[in-house]
């Protein structure tokens, strides 16, 4: 069996000029061309499922334990049984990197409710669908970090907490997609979203921070944000540097009247923002604390990798 799999891998390498891609699907690794799910999968039909995206540095997974905890929380909140024991995830993720010969990469875990007859009842699905994908990490253009990115103010509001718990990293991403579409139409990098009370929440895939009156400010989870893994790391680093961190409720006006602004997520790390809704942020970009926190993030990577 191992010989057949090895031969299949070598054949794929020849066909794809060294770009073989192996996907973990349910209980085995398969070539990308064979990684298919049913049209009756409830992840496809209804967006019923969850996901996590992890960053890999030189073969080491950034905050793996924290990402897996968040994945478990997402599953628990929607009543989805995580089909793989916690102890097996590190080996599966490492194997995905090994098979794809990747060192600096992004890992995407997707878990859907699974295949079942049409209907919203979760009991229609007998078992979840599990997918793990490993992709080479593609850095953002250098000028983004040098000059900062532009954000549009989305007209669409963030889903209210009472409608969908923000702790669920859901496959149903239409709320964010509509905001991202607005940003693209405006020629901006991303969209800043407000909640139903008109207060700041986050961007479509990242958390937002700004420095104002000597404090690092960021919307709290009570505002309806997904608590980012990189967000927590940056808060830790800022506090260690003696910078006061305030997690609270903030208006757009407070953000616009600020010294500097940046975004955080697994891929961006710390990304400077130079404009929001056409308004220039601060006197120069990137700001002093934006640069310092990104440098600290890079310098402390070994503290936060655990796989």
Please name the helix (run of DSSP H) or strand (run of DSSP E) that holds residue 114, with its range, or none: none
Assess contact for 210 and 155: CB atoms under 8 A. Answer: no
Assess contact for 164 and 170: CB atoms under 8 A. Answer: yes
pTM of the predicted model, to two decimals?
0.90
CA 205 to chain centre: 6
Assess contact for 106 and 54: CB atoms under 8 A. Answer: yes
Assess contact for 269 and 244: CB atoms under 8 A. Answer: no
- Whether the per-residue pLDDT at 118 is higher than 60: the answer is yes
Summary mean pLDDT of the chain: 93
pLDDT band at 307 (very low <50, low <70, confident <90, very high): low
Condensed to tens digits (0 to 9), the pLDDT of residues 158-192 reads: 999 999 999 999 999 999 999 999 999 999 999 99
Both tokens assigned to 226: 């997904």
pLDDT band at 46 (very low <50, low <70, confident <90, very high): very high
pLDDT for 284 equals 82
Boundaries of every domain in the chain: 2-136, 142-300
pLDDT for 2 equals 38
Assess contact for 149 and 141: CB atoms under 8 A. Answer: no
Both tokens assigned to 99: 């098979």
pLDDT band at 15 (very low <50, low <70, confident <90, very high): very low
Assess contact for 301 and 55: CB atoms under 8 A. Answer: no
Condensed to tens digits (0 to 9), the pLDDT of residues 206-238 reads: 999 999 999 999 999 999 999 999 999 999 999
CA distances from 129 to 43, 68, 166, 209 (A): 8, 17, 22, 35
Domain 142-300: which CATH class?
alpha beta
pLDDT for 1 equals 36
Residues whose CB falls within 8 Å of the CB of residue 139, separated by 6 or more in sequence, listed in order = none
CATH of domain 2-136: 3.30.470.10
Most distant pair of Cα atoms in the chain: their distance: 64
- Whether the per-residue pLDDT at 194 is higher than 60: the answer is yes
pLDDT for 6 equals 43
Where are any strands of DSSP class E within 145-289?
Answer: 149-153, 190-194, 200-203, 207-212, 215-219, 244-248, 260-265, 269-276, 279-280
pLDDT band at 12 (very low <50, low <70, confident <90, very high): very low
> Alpha-carbon distance 21 to 17, whole Å?
11
Query: What percentage of residues in the chain have a pLDDT greater than 70?
Result: 93
Residue 110 DSSP label: E
pLDDT for 283 equals 81
In the chain, count H helices and then E strands: 10, 15
Assess contact for 130 and 84: CB atoms under 8 A. Answer: yes
Domains 2-136 and 142-300 share a fold: no
Please name the helix (run of DSSP H) or strand (run of DSSP E) that holds residue 294, with its range, or none: helix 288-299
Identify which has the larger pLDDT, 7 or 161.
161
pLDDT for 20 equals 78
What phi and psi values does residue 240 have, to the nearest 5 degrees? Answer: -65, -25
Lowest mean pLDDT among 144-158, 233-247, 277-291: 277-291
Q: What is the DSSP string of 21-56?
A: -EEEETTEEEEGGG----TTBHHHHH--EEEEEEEE
The pLDDT of 44-54, averaged and rounded, is 98
Both tokens assigned to 18: 């060294």
Identify which has the larger pLDDT, 247 or 307.
247
């Amino acid at each position: 069996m191992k010989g057949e799999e090895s031969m299949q891998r070598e054949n794929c390498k020849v066909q794809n000029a060294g770009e073989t891609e192996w996907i973990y699907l349910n209980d085995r690794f398969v070539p990308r061309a064979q990684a298919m799910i049913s049209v009756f999968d409830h992840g496809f039909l209804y967006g019923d499922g969850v996901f996590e995206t992890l960053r890999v540095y030189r073969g080491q997974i950034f905050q793996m334990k924290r990402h897996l905890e968040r994945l478990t929380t997402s599953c628990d909140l929607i009543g989805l049984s995580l089909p793989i024991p916690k102890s097996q995830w590190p080996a599966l993720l490492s194997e995905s990197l090994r098979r794809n010969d990747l060192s600096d990469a992004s890992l995407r875990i997707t878990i859907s409710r699974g295949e079942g007859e049409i209907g919203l009842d979760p009991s229609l699905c007998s078992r979840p669908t599990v997918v793990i994908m490993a992709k080479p990490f593609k850095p953002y253009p250098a000028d983004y970090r040098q000059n900062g990115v532009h954000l549009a103010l989305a007209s669409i509001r963030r889903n209210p907490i009472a409608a969908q718990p923000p702790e669920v990293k859901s496959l149903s991403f239409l709320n964010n997609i509509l905001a991202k579409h607005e940003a693209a139409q405006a020629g901006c990098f991303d969209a800043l979203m407000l909640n139903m009370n008109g207060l700041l929440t986050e961007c479509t895939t990242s958390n937002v921070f700004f420095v104002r009156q000597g404090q690092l400010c960021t919307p709290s989870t009570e505002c309806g944000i997904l608590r980012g893994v990189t967000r927590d790391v940056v808060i830790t680093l800022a506090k260690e540097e003696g910078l006061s961190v305030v997690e609270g409720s903030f208006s757009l006006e407070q953000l616009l009247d600020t010294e500097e602004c940046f975004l955080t997520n697994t891929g961006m790390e710390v990304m400077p923002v130079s404009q929001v809704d056409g308004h220039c942020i601060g006197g120069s970009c990137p700001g002093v604390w934006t640069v310092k926190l990104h440098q600290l993030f890079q310098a402390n990577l070994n503290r936060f990798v655990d796989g």
